[in-house]
Amino acid sequence: MARFIVRRIIQSLFLLLGISVLSYAMMRAAPGGPESYFDDPKIPPSTRELLRQQFGLNEPVPVQYGKWLWNALHLNFGYSFIDRRPVIDKILERLPATIELSLASLLLGFIGIPMGVYAAMNRGKLPDYLLRVLTVIGNAVPHWWLGLMILVISANTIRLFPLGGMYTSGNDTLPDRLWHLVLPAAIGAMGGWIVFSRYLRSEVLEVLGQDFVRTARAKGVREPVVMSRHVLRNALIPVVTIMGGTLATLVSGSVLFESTFSWPGIGRMAVAAAFQRDYPVLMALTMLTSFLVIAGNLLADIAYGWVDPRVRYD
């Protein structure tokens, strides 16, 4: 187990290095540069030149990458080209908003688990069909679009919920925040409902057909105990994998979502940084997200051994 973890960590470090080289190269291959924020043509070329110097963009790209890497290894991600603030400050400032929304979405998304179990237990009956149709539709519709439609419709009819934003300015209270959270969290949770309910339904059905379930029932174990001890525990294994993947989204946020709901999170900052060619911010966000994806998967693999004793590490 310990050897497995150490090996995976070493692999992950190389993976991160590879990601950083690739994303740095791709980022720099995109046309334009951070001076495009200074796109006002009245700015003289000498000023642009001064800016390029200040940003360190005059050196060859590999040298720039080397400097970036050296600083990044010391956890120094530099300063934003656009507003000259430390990148870390900018990210930390956005983190609470993104975590608030994605955590709420994730927790609400867990409702998909009982939904899937319920569908499996009512296989072939109305609730099962209904759930299947709804999940297919829900999967086919882009969620940001659905969010936008809900906003447009509720703007034109009764307004139960605010049209985006995190709280009413000047009224930053818990009820107000929750009220703003409902719509985006519900739509964010849709992904969870769809994925969890589909997985759980098929897993539960599969496990229900296993010999040990029949044995348990045959020896007179009560149905609720069969479900919780034998069926559910086995059916939940794939959820662990899915959870490993969600660790990164918890922090990286959803670009489209945060945009639709005017949510001041990481996702929107990432988009702005991409358009402005704010290289330090982009690199920091890429590395943060990559790190979390890798860490999430590693954690999921470790957790596997815990939930499924059949898994062995070597």
Which residues here bind another protein, judged by CB under 8 A? 30-33, 36-45, 47, 50-51, 54, 82-86, 93-94, 97, 148, 151-152, 155-156, 159, 162-166, 168-171, 173, 259-262, 264-265, 268-269, 272, 275-277
Angle between helices 87-109 and 237-252 (to 10 degrees): 140
**Minimal distance, residue 169 CB to another protein, in Å:** 5
Nearer of residues 216 and 269 to another protein, judged by Cβ: 269
Closest approach of Cβ 92 to another protein, in Å? 12
Q: Closest approach of Cβ 15 to another protein, in Å?
A: 29
If the CB atoms of residues 86 and 305 are measured against another protein, the closer one turns out to be: 86
- For 249-289, give the DSSP string: HHHH--HHHHHHTT--SHHHHHHHHHHHT-HHHHHHHHHHH
> Burial letters for 59-86: b for 16+ Cβ neighbours within 10 Å, e otherwise?
eeeeebbeebeeebeeeebbbbbbeeee
Shorter beta-carbon distance to another protein: residue 264 or 305: 264
Give the residues across from 168 on adjacent strands: 171
Q: How far is the CB of 69 from another protein (least distance, A)?
A: 23
Nearer to another protein, 44 or 124 (CB): 44
Distance CA 260, CA 139 (A): 18
Q: Report, in Å, the least distance between residue 85 CB and another protein.
A: 5
Cβ neighbors of 127 (< 8 A, separation 6 or more) are: 118, 119
Distance CA 271, CA 260 (A): 13
